Amino acid sequence: MRIGFDPIHENRPITDLRDLLYSGLELYGDNPLFLEKSKETGKYETVTYRNYVKEVEYLGTALVDLGLSDELIGVMGENRYKWVTSYLAVVNGVGTVVPIDKELPVNEIMNIIERCSPAAILFSGKKKEQIEEAAKSAPGVKYFIGMDIAKEDEEGRFISYDALIEKGRALQEGGDTRYTKAVIDPMATKILLFTSATTSKSKAAKLSHHNLASNLMSMVTLIQLHESDTFLSVLPLHHTYECTCGFLCPMYMGCSVAFCEGLKYIVDNMKDSGTTIMLGVPLLFENMYKKLWKKAEAAGSAKKMRTALKISNFLMKLGIDVRRKLFKTIYDGLGGSIRMFISGAAAISPEVAEFFRNIGLDFFQGYGLTECSPIIALNSDTDFVDSAAGKAIPGVEIQIWEPNEEGIGEIVAKGPNIFEGYLDEPELNKEIFEGGYFHTGDMGYMDKKGFIYITGRKKCVIVTQNGKNIYPEEIELLVNTSPYVAESMVFGRIEENSREEVITLSVFPDLEAFDAEFKERSPELVESKLRELVRDVNSRLIDYKKIKDLIIRNEPFVKTTTSKIKRYVEENKL
């Protein structure tokens, strides 16, 4: 029996991403769809839905004319208008799109090229050196299409995106309909996504139009969006969380998407674009939370803010909402228009979610994976629990596989958004679909109301000698609430003498916090405060989960582009 959400808000049926594009054109044709900073003026300039559709058609037509129909085509670059145009141009009538992480070194770009053999790669000018280096060892790639190339090479292998747009325009105006009349098979693999791999090597997930369309139709029934909303696109677009939820979803609802210039420009971009909604990862929101309290402490207004929160919460019980007035300074510091934060990719501290909601911001977290397009569980705007990942979204069934005595087991799911399987991994595909459900590799439990609580990754579970399971993420959530911690990782280390599992905490301290509070960052002070933190955390843990060893790092952890620590990399260093 399925336990999860039924639809709360209305949606519109779509069969595929081309249907998304053209049905949206009819509804929102003259709405501003994308906002991108002009290099000349330094201001956001808008592209309407109608003009975007035209450019998708022009580029798609030119790609077909290059002989790229039914081919795999990579897209690599920062979040920008030409990236989203390239993505939909490829997937809506050319071939299969392969989003590539822009942060990858040349050897990993080559690994992707060797594994999936793309016929072409569209790339940003910022990645020109890496692409030129990769091109030397990739004869199978026919074309490298530069989003910022002004002059094409003599061999015709490096060609200009802008020139292709003009070529496609001319072809279309001359009556070329090869692209616009291409048949879309909603069930065929048309998106090949390489996972970010926090615990093992990346795998290539095969997704279809149907997977993404079903996920879009489902998620928008749980959180109310408006045509007037503007999303700030911060997370990397090659990742399915940002691509589906921060690009395709606002498009589907007629909202606008403003491209962020970089993490240090988030606040400025929020103000300049009138951002109302921002997707992020826990690290982003936890840093915001810590900075707000640091600023209040430094200004001597922290006590005043705590009092304001108590007053506001009391008035809310009486049906009186003064949060926007009481916390106007915070809103102004976040651009003045923000109304909603959405967190994903990992569990967030309930304390952080509750704080933002208490100052008047809607705050929701969900749960998903690349393989699920990505969302399978979400908190809704009428029913939410800050410590939970949410309930199963409409159309998706979630079960807890082989739960232990505490009710914790592997989270498994089935639904129309679940992928077909991994590229060239037949044995693994059999394993992950055991019993007709997709096995996520995440451990957790479900309460009687259907809310899902994630305890950690199956591969990260520390098993003690007496068979007890310890989930590192559970301890890390407690550690990361400290203002003295920038990042942390908990792992098990076998002690040579006793052969016992020693629960070890590795911390990269927030040295700026020490500067602000103590006006110093000596190693002795840092260690003293972190050991004090360990004692506090241990006081809230059962004996077998207690931290026994502390490592203080001098540099940040190696992370994925969605700010998740690459555990297999870090543990192999130790």
Structural domains in the chain, sorted by start: 48-183 (3.40.50.980), 461-573 (3.30.300.30)
What single string gives the DSSP state of each residue in 31-58?
SEEEEEE-TTT-SEEEEEHHHHHHHHHH
Give how far Cα 71 sits from Cα of 116, 138, 210, 465, Å: 10, 16, 19, 52
* pLDDT at site 1: 53
CB atoms within 10 A of CB 206: 20
pLDDT tens sequence across 51-80: 999 999 999 999 999 999 999 999 999 999
Residues 310 and 290: their CA atoms lie apart, in Å, by: 19
475: β partners: none
DSSP helix/strand/coil, 444: strand
* pLDDT at site 246: 97
Residues 574 and 568: their CA atoms lie apart, in Å, by: 10
Considering the entire predicted model, what is its pTM?
Answer: 0.85
In this prediction, the residues of the chain whose per-residue pLDDT falls under 70 are: 1-2, 154, 196-201, 463-468, 496-499, 561-562, 568-574
* pLDDT at site 198: 47
Residue 425 tokens, joined? 């991994």
Q: Is the dihedral of CA 512, 513, 515, 516 positive or negative?
A: positive
* pLDDT at site 570: 57
* pLDDT at site 569: 59
* pLDDT at site 464: 67
Residue 262 tokens, joined? 């970089």
* pLDDT at site 199: 46
- Give, in degrees to the nearest 5, the angle at Cα 534 between 544 and 294: 140
* pLDDT at site 498: 57
Question: Could you tell me which of 338, 328, 288, 283 has the C-alpha nearest to residue 305?
Answer: 328
Question: Could you tell me which of 434, 433, 409, 418 has the C-alpha nearest to residue 370?
Answer: 418
